[in-house]
């Protein structure tokens, strides 16, 4: 039976505890560490609370150390610049008085541009073709590890529908290109800032798994140790995070125990709404 969805707007919310100082919690205390996307989304929301009449257009962040899900996260925002067109904020997340995460975010008032182009959206069937009911009809489904089936259950803040299901049973993706449909599991308020923070949260979901695509392996493999090192994101065009979005991912390089993953996020009408890049530690257990 489907489980109730988790409201992404609630878990991203941060409360003010002082001037440009915010606090939030991790909703999942059963994990070993705080999900990186949660910290990105909460940090972005904290930054948004200090900017007026401008939307984020980019973020660049580093994961300094793993977060403890049992301890509240404190976000300190620094107002670095408020110019005619752009505003810049730095956000530091701390626990136990130590920094665990640092982010720079830039905001733009918006303007009419002369140049307009984008990459074309990959030709991928719609999300209706990748429900668990539809996937269960595929011959590979019976061989899916239980951890993979649980990961794609609907009781999570972002509903995920993987396209290349065969890779979870050893199929190699020669060009390393992976695709996943995603959207917030619950309806979000009509606030573009919140939708930006929600997509920042979702952008960290399985991005590093693109590193494994060429090898017929996944991050669900218990022999793999992985962790995000940094994360960058650019927001291009308006979108709603509670509508279906296609996350097209690839990994152009892996070496020295690190892997680079890139992603493009499209609306169903083909509009490119965001670009993502992340490097992470990807190792085999000894």
CA count, 13 A, side-chain hemisphere, 96: 8
- Is 171 a catalytic site residue? no
The rounded distance, in Å, linking the Cα atoms of 165 and 119 is: 25
Q: What is the dihedral of CA 281, 228, 5, 161, to 10 degrees?
A: -60
Q: Which of 228, 242, 251, 275 is catalytic?
A: 228
Q: Which of 106, 185, 204, 242 is catalytic?
A: 204
- Is 255 a catalytic site residue? no
- Is 228 a catalytic site residue? yes
Query: Active-site residues: which are they?
Result: 204, 228, 278
């Amino acid at each position: 039976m489907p489980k109730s969805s988790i409201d992404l707007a609630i878990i991203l919310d941060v409360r003010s505890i002082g001037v440009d100082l915010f606090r939030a919690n991790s909703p999942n205390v059963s994990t070993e560490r705080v999900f990186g996307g949660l910290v990105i989304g909460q940090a972005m929301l904290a930054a948004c609370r200090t900017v007026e009449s401008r939307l984020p257009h980019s973020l660049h962040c580093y994961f300094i150390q793993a977060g403890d899900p049992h301890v509240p996260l404190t976000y300190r925002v620094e107002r670095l610049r408020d110019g005619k067109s752009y505003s810049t904020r730095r956000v530091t997340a701390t626990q136990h008085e130590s920094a665990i995460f640092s982010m720079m975010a830039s905001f733009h008032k918006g303007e009419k541009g002369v140049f307009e182009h984008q990459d074309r959206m990959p030709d991928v069937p719609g999300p209706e073709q990748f429900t668990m009911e539809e996937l269960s009809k595929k011959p590979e489904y019976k061989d899916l590890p239980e951890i993979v089936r649980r990961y794609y259950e609907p009781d999570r803040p972002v509903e995920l529908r993987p396209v290349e299901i065969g890779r979870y049973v050893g199929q190699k993706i020669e060009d390393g290109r992976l695709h996943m449909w995603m959207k917030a599991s619950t309806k979000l308020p009509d606030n573009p800032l919140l939708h930006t923070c929600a997509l920042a949260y979702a952008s960290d979901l399985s991005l590093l798994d693109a590193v494994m695509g060429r090898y017929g392996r996944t991050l669900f493999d218990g022999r793999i140790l992985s962790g995000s090192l940094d994360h960058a994101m650019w927001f291009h065009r308006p979108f709603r995070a509670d509508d279906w979005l296609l996350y097209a991912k690839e990994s152009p390089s892996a070496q020295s125990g690190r892997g680079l993953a890139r992603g493009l996020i499209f609306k169903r009408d083909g509009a490119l709404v965001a670009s993502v890049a992340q490097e992470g530690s990807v190792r085999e257990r000894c």
